[in-house]
Amino acid sequence: MPMPAMWARPDLLKGKRALVTGGGTGICRGIAIALAAAGADVAVASRKSDHLAPTVQDLQAHGVRAIGIAGDVRVPAEVDRIVQGTADTLGGLEILINGAAGNFIARSEALSPNGFGTVVDIDLKGTFNVSRAAFPLLKAHGGVILNISATLQLLGTVGQVHASAAKAGIDAMTRTLAVEWGPEKVRVNGLAPGPVAETEGVRRLTTDASRARIAEICPLGRMATIDEIASAALFLCSDASAFITGVTLVVDGGLWLHSASALGVDATAS
């Protein structure tokens, strides 16, 4: 079980109700646990129901209400069921984390239209589907949406045309929804992790050599931990960020900024 964010007070989000898609595993499981440790009641949704039961147990260990709902963010009827199930169990919704994602490495010429579309459907269209379905609940008492983005779309990341297109779309959607829904007291922000240790994304997308390269060029010298990403999520979900909307916060130890280091002097050299 990941550590809850180290600085969070147990009452930071008391009385808030949260839905975390992709919350059964990895980064979003860590965010869900951090929300619970900060006092929020939490629903986690995942395509695979076997991830949900252990996560719900870990959430309940923080003394909050928790529920796991199996469903696919690509299917509007399943999204309605996830959102309705959250409302029925928790009684409302103030925090939505859009974290459901899919990824694999494939160069563009080897990627089928369905392979491209599958990642766009999960990441980009899934984020839209869940945001749209949750909006009536979020605007009832004011709320926060946090879209989990990435940094791979900020550069020309090889083997990631599908995920880059999807994440760039999510960043654009974050800005549009922030403007459309701000007057309804719904803030919409993004969180863009770089590589995060011990996650499915890093297992799928990196090699021993690329992990060594990350440690070498990252200004902070390593990958993030899940807890560090969850800490940033808590900030963006709490009143600590009450006047922030429409931004995507990069949490990558400066890695992507230094990815262009081939062009200049090595900042780590003394």
For position 270 contacting ligand HXC by CB under 6 A, the verdict is no
| CB 194, CB 223: distance < 8 Å | yes
Rg (CA), the chain: 18
| Residues 6+ positions from 208 with CB-CB distance below 8 Å | none
What's the min distance (Å) between Cβ of 154 and ligand HXC?
11
Give me the DSSP letters along 194-220. Answer: --BTTSHHHHHH--HHHHHHHHHH-TT
What's the min distance (Å) between Cβ of 72 and ligand HXC?
8
For position 223 contacting ligand HXC by CB under 6 A, the verdict is no
What's the min distance (Å) between Cβ of 223 and ligand HXC?
9
What's the min distance (Å) between Cβ of 35 and ligand HXC?
20
When binding is defined by CB under 6 A, the residue of 14, 132, 204, 222 that contacts ligand HXC is 204
For position 106 contacting ligand HXC by CB under 6 A, the verdict is yes
Q: What gap in Å lies between CA 197 and CA 164, rounded to an integer? A: 20
Report the site for ligand HXC in 134-163 (rule: CB under 6 A).
Answer: 150, 152, 163
Q: What gap in Å lies between CA 198 and CA 224, rounded to an integer? A: 10
Task: Give me the amino acid identity at 215.
Answer: A
Distances (CA, A) of 1 to 58, 70, 233: 7, 21, 17
The alpha carbon dihedral of 254, 240, 4, 46 has a sign of negative
Tokens of 221: 């010298």
What's the min distance (Å) between Cβ of 159 and ligand HXC?
9
The alpha carbon dihedral of 157, 160, 166, 170 has a sign of negative
What's the min distance (Å) between Cβ of 201 and ligand HXC?
3
Q: Strand ranges (DSSP E) for 103-148?
A: 143-148
What's the min distance (Å) between Cβ of 119 and ligand HXC?
6
Listed ranges 6-14, 54-62, 107-115, 210-218: which one lies at the site for ligand HXC (CB under 6 A)? 107-115
CA 251 from chain centre, in angstroms, equals 12
Listed ranges 6-14, 85-93, 193-201, 237-245: which one lies at the site for ligand HXC (CB under 6 A)? 193-201
For position 104 contacting ligand HXC by CB under 6 A, the verdict is yes
Q: Which is nearer to ligand HXC, 39 or 102 (CB)?
A: 102
Count of positions on this chain that bind ligand HXC (CB under 6 A): 19
When binding is defined by CB under 6 A, the residue of 89, 118, 225, 261 that contacts ligand HXC is 118
When binding is defined by CB under 6 A, the residue of 119, 161, 170, 234 that contacts ligand HXC is 119
Chain contacts with ligand HXC (rule: CB under 6 A):
101-104, 106, 111-112, 114-115, 118-119, 150, 152, 163, 195, 200-201, 204-205
